[in-house]
Amino acid sequence: EYNMPLALNVTGQLNLPLVTSVFNTIIDRHMVLRSVYVGNEQNIRQYIRPMTEVEFAINCVDLSHLQGEAQTAEVQRLVEADLTTAFDLANDLMLRVSYIKRSSHSGVLLFNMHHIASDGWSMQVLLKEFFALYHAREQGQSDPLPALSIQYADYARWQQEHLAGELLDKQMAYWTEQLADVPASHSLMLDKVRPKVKQHRGSAVTGELPSSVTQPLLQLAKAQQLSPFMLLHGVLSLLLSRHSNSDDIVIGTPVANRQMSDLEPLIGFFANTLVLRANTRHETLSDYFKHIRTVHLDAQANQDVPFEHLVERLNVPRNSAHNPLFQIVMTSDSDFGVNDSEESASFSLPNVVLETHESSLLHAKFDLNIDLRISEHGMSMRWLYDESLFEHSHIEQLQANFCRMLSGLSQLTDLNSDPQCLPLLSDAELAHQIYAQNETTQSFDNTLCLHQRFEQQAALQPDSVALRCGDELLTYEQLNARANQLAHYLSSTYELQPDTLVGICAERSVEMVIGMLAILKAGGAYVPLDPNYPSDRLVYMARDAQLSIVLTQGNAPQALSSFACELIAIEQTSLYSHYRCDNPDVLSTDLNLYNLAYVIYTSGSTGNPKGVMVSHNNVNHLILAQSYFIGGPGKCLAHCNSVSFDVAVFELWGALLTGASVLIVPQQVLLSPTAFGQLLQTQQVTDLVLSVGLYNQYQDILMDQLGGLDNLYIGGDALDPSRMRKQLQAPQRPKRVFNAYGPTECTVIAIAGELHTLVPESTSVPLGKPLNNTRIYILDRNLQALPQGSVGEIYIAGEGVAKGYLNQPELTAERFLADPFQPDSAAKMYKSGDLGRRLKDGSIEFVGRVDKQVKIRGFRIEPGEIETALLDCNGVREAAVLVQSKGLDKRLVAYLSWQDNAQCYSRTELRAQLAQVLPQHMLPSAFVTVEKIPLTSNGKVNHNALLAVDSEDLQDEEYAAPTTETQIILVNIWAELLGIDKAKISILANFFSLGGHSLLSVRLMTAIRTRFNVSLSVADIFSAANLAELAMAVERGGVQHAKPAITALTRTGEALPVSFSQQRLWSIDKLQGGSAEYNMPL
């Protein structure tokens, strides 16, 4: 990760003895190259070895006996072997040089330094001194290099003594404020699941921009008082913002940190890393660039704080999966000037031609490292990415979008536009995302209103069964006749007009269906009211809809007793049984397809429900224009949902518009899995819609019964991949299984996907693709299309979009927007509030809610991801994860129910299982067992009911006292290192959660070795979830005696302090057990 490699192809006569002499001089000149590093329990020290103990030699390998591809392959193998060979910090020189001989006049010269003794600036110093000394000695001249006034060790001592007190406190205060609540990781969508341990496998994408773009950009930077680097950083932050759906963009960048002239000629690790945190939400580009300039100037003014101290002071949660604070880096000129034409004269040797040797082995220190070099002649780009996280095509897309933004910026003359409006997508990308992916036009018979199409079916098949409810059965003819009688009564008594709202407050029943049909036949629109709702809610809905008439069934009148309106009991057939049975004359009402069919109330953000106005056309689109549902005679749809839940629209009209039959499932049957399963089988149900919540409860119990269905539709929430894999792999499975997604405002379903298989590594279940005559847009907050794979808000357009909210014009205007991609029509699109992204195959993946993403200790968390992991735990049947606030602190609380006869695991055991798949910050703080997860009437998880669980059940991680001798000793060690009362340290506590960090972990490792005579690595300490696990690791290692302590050789000079940067690299080197990732080869 921190090796600094550079390999040069050599053509000509390279004098290797002279090269050896030159490097001996450089090693003598720069003591840091011959320093070794030894740690003990208290600190880390460096020892400078005298030159008499230094044995430097070039490692020469002769491959001249090989030819062609065989030689090339061996050269590549040797280069990569050198790059991946770790330095021993306690014994090695921090510089090694190799020469691979291809022939008498060609080869590869490889330099490799460890980052603990070097940085990018140092590499340039090394190269310049090497070339200068080689030239001088080849020509018999004296040493041209001036003596060094100080050494790196002097700087390290100075830093320890002087970089403290008021200066450090003032700068640290700036960073503490600047990085408060900083995101723990970037929000770019990954193409692969992040490994628990960073892999560092790198690959690169390169590109260029012409001078016609860079010259205006440089002029713009000058006019805005920006350095070119500042300008590029600003645009890069905008790019990442657009791709990640975040305004909070954090990028790291190295700085030379050589503000004193005496430091300029030294080799050593001086470089510091600045954390540049940009807020991309500004009204104008002018304001935004002022912000970027301030970010840079403030960061540079406070650059004395070592990055290592900053990480420790902020107590950033550590994990082995990614770097702390930032994972994306922007650099400039990472080839140390070797390819710079202005430096070409000094970077050359007599009679020798040098060119950079490209190795296929690339180390990705970060998730993404963007190296940019801009001048009036153009700009070169190199995007080094971690290929265990990203696909090559994704990085190519990022680069193309970056270039387009820079090109667009170069053409601007006015910076008063929104920063987010810089062009991102090409015309081809835009056309693909907006139009090609939404080619869903499908003609269908849209000539009749709902009740007219039902009448058509009644005429075609009068004797076919329309409704079944218990022992009661109605044919199409019978149902039509009874609905007609009630409709004639309503028309003659109340003279209903189109869009007149009539309430229907009824349980699932034959009477309910008769009432709905009658209202439509009389020319009105129905408002479904669930009699099981609280009376206050029903009264609010009735009052908001200005209902003067409500059809009722059963005990519904009691629920509306406090509302003044006329109640008509459908069961009192004596009111209308003497009316005609023929169809009412539709021509007399001026009713058309775009009049309301119903108004259905859905939860509102203000606490009061809002009425969604849905037309006949909307429902025709849902039922008649789609291929996922084909009704007709012989089909039977189960009606399981509340009349106030929009899924009931699909269940009822899906059957009645196509000639299928409806099986009405009583509530008491629905709540009994055994009775419900028997009903599905005996009544030969072919199509069933279940909410995710109800499906999760019933899957294991009703797997065989569900297998007899033609079509199973599951929706209303995110599906669990493990449950879906189980369903799809079941011996008995429905012919087709669909994931169905859609808000009430878009008529039940907007996206549907038939599920066939799910690969084991799937972490989500795609929603599917847009329905026919539906368009799905993934847009940013400025309603601009986002690149494929980027997360944005889901907007829905097409025939299913409802007319708006009843009596709420402002909210309607806010959520039902003009479709900007259909400017020549009156088309609307609905702002769903859901986050999603479009996958390569065009399907949509649900990511979460705009208003339900939570942030805990800087991490953006989707509770659904934790729920999925919980459902994979042994014995867990249902799971829901909520965020609860405790003062200013937020914590995750997991609610779960257990499978029948399953072993109920302890919290510790559950956390251990979750820790196998989730990072530390996603582990719940508390686990609450419930008999079953409560659901709303719409079949979704009832969050309010969960939050109402007795708070005594919501305990923090329980305290467990140490019981073994090992645990007691470890508690004492932790108390000493962490400075906390040992009585408060539970064996279930995590070292890092209590305030431990990388440097303390090294001291902990040393203390364990001293007290137990056991050698553990820092990696062992890092991976132990709690003290109990660490104690077990110590006990397992009891047979391994500690290695002898390193003793210093006799050498001149005293032990010297190391710099803060060296402390961190030394700690990381120990953590990784010696790693070539810190080498700096050339």
Residue-by-residue DSSP string for 654-717? HHHTTT-EEEE--HHHHT-HHHHHHHHHHTT--EEEEEHHHHHHHTTTSHHHHTT-SEEEEESS
Residue 600: enclosing H or E segment and its boundaries?
strand 596-602
Q: What is the pLDDT of residues 160-205, one digit of tens each?
A: 777 767 778 888 999 999 998 888 889 899 998 888 888 888 899 9
Find the range with the poorest average confidence among 438-442, 497-501, 770-774, 973-977: 973-977
Q: What is the pLDDT of residue 665?
A: 95
Q: Which two tokens stand for residue 781?
A: 């907050």
Q: Which residue has the higher pLDDT, 301 or 16?
A: 16
Q: What is the pLDDT of residue 164?
A: 67
Give start-end residues of each CATH 3.30.559.10 domain in the chain. 1-147+339-361+1058-1082
Sign of CA pseudo-dihedral 454, 458, 463, 464: negative
Q: How confident is the model at residue 703 (pLDDT cuts 50, 70, 90)?
A: very high
| pLDDT tops 60 at residue 415 | yes
Q: Which fold has domain 859-953?
A: GMP Synthetase; Chain A, domain 3 (3.30.300)
Q: What is the pLDDT of residue 996?
A: 67
Q: What is the CA radius of gyration of the chain?
A: 36
Give start-end residues of each CATH 3.30.300.30 domain in the chain. 859-953
Q: What is the pLDDT of residue 951?
A: 44
Q: What is the pLDDT of residue 1079?
A: 55
Q: What is the mean pLDDT of the chain?
A: 86
Residue type, 432: H
Q: What's the CATH code, domain 434-441+773-842?
A: 2.30.38.10
Q: What is the pLDDT of residue 301?
A: 85
Q: What is the pLDDT of residue 631?
A: 87
Q: Are 962 and 968 in contact (CB under 8 A)?
A: yes
Residues found in the chain: 1082
The mean pLDDT of 830-836, rounded to a whole number, is 93
Q: Which fold has domain 1-147+339-361+1058-1082?
A: Chloramphenicol Acetyltransferase (3.30.559)
Q: What is the pLDDT of residues 99-146, one digit of tens each?
A: 999 999 999 999 888 988 998 889 889 989 999 999 999 899 998 999
Q: If you search the block for the tokens 């991946």, which residue do you land on?
A: 84
> What do you get for the CA distance between the two ends of the chain, in Å?
15
| pLDDT tops 70 at residue 921 | no
The mean pLDDT of 332-361, rounded to a whole number, is 64
Q: What is the pLDDT of residue 1070?
A: 61
Highest mean pLDDT among 773-777, 936-940, 951-955: 773-777
Distances (CA, A) of 41 to 116, 977, 999, 1016, 1053: 20, 10, 10, 14, 22
Give start-end residues of each CATH 3.30.559.30 domain in the chain. 176-327+366-424
Q: Which CATH class name applies to 965-1047?
A: mainly alpha
Residue type, 729: Q
Cβ burial, residue 586 (10 Å; 0-12/13-18/19+): middle
Q: What is the pLDDT of residues 469-490, one digit of tens each?
A: 999 999 999 999 999 999 999 9
Give start-end residues of each CATH 2.30.38.10 domain in the chain. 434-441+773-842
Q: Which residues have a Cβ under 8 Å from the Cβ of 380 and sit 6 or more positions away?
A: 206, 207, 208, 372, 373
Q: Which residues have a Cβ under 8 Å from the Cβ of 130 and sit 6 or more positions away?
A: 22, 23, 26
Rounded to whole angstroms, the Cα distance separating 382 from 565 reads: 72
The mean pLDDT of 601-619, rounded to a whole number, is 84
Q: Which residue has the higher pLDDT, 748 or 1059?
A: 748
| pLDDT tops 60 at residue 1071 | no
Q: Which two tokens stand for residue 527?
A: 């408002």
Q: What is the pLDDT of residue 468?
A: 96
Q: What is the pLDDT of residue 941?
A: 81
Q: What is the pLDDT of residue 525?
A: 97
| pLDDT tops 50 at residue 1040 | no
Q: Which fold has domain 176-327+366-424?
A: Chloramphenicol Acetyltransferase (3.30.559)
Residue type, 734: P
Q: Which among 1065, 927, 987, 1081 has a CA at the least distance from the CA of 44?
A: 1065
Q: How confident is the model at residue 1009 (pLDDT cuts 50, 70, 90)?
A: confident
CB atoms within 10 A of CB 1065: 24
Rounded to whole angstroms, the Cα distance separating 926 from 954 reads: 6
Q: Which among 3, 440, 413 has a CA at the least distance from the CA of 220?
A: 413
| pLDDT tops 90 at residue 630 | no
Q: How confident is the model at residue 1042 (pLDDT cuts 50, 70, 90)?
A: very low
Q: What is the pLDDT of residue 824?
A: 83
Q: Interior CA angle at 487 toward 485 and 493, to 5°? A: 105
Residue 248: enclosing H or E segment and its boundaries?
strand 248-255
Q: What is the pLDDT of residue 1041?
A: 42
Rounded to whole angstroms, the Cα distance separating 378 from 218 reads: 10
Per residue in 360-397, is it b (16+ CB within 10 Å) or e — as a string? eebbbbbbbbbbbbbeeeebbbbbbbbbbbbbeebbeb
Q: What is the pLDDT of residues 562-589, one digit of tens each?
A: 888 899 999 999 999 999 999 998 666 6
| pLDDT tops 90 at residue 771 | yes
Percent over 70 (pLDDT), the chain: 88
Q: What is the pLDDT of residue 262?
A: 85
| pLDDT tops 60 at residue 402 | yes
| pLDDT tops 60 at residue 341 | no
Q: What is the pLDDT of residue 779?
A: 95
Q: Which among 351, 256, 267, 375 has a CA at the least distance from the CA of 304?
A: 256
Helix (H) and strand (E) counts in the chain: 32, 42
Rounded to whole angstroms, the Cα distance separating 553 from 564 reads: 17
| pLDDT tops 70 at residue 260 | yes
| pLDDT tops 80 at residue 65 | yes
CB atoms within 10 A of CB 1010: 14
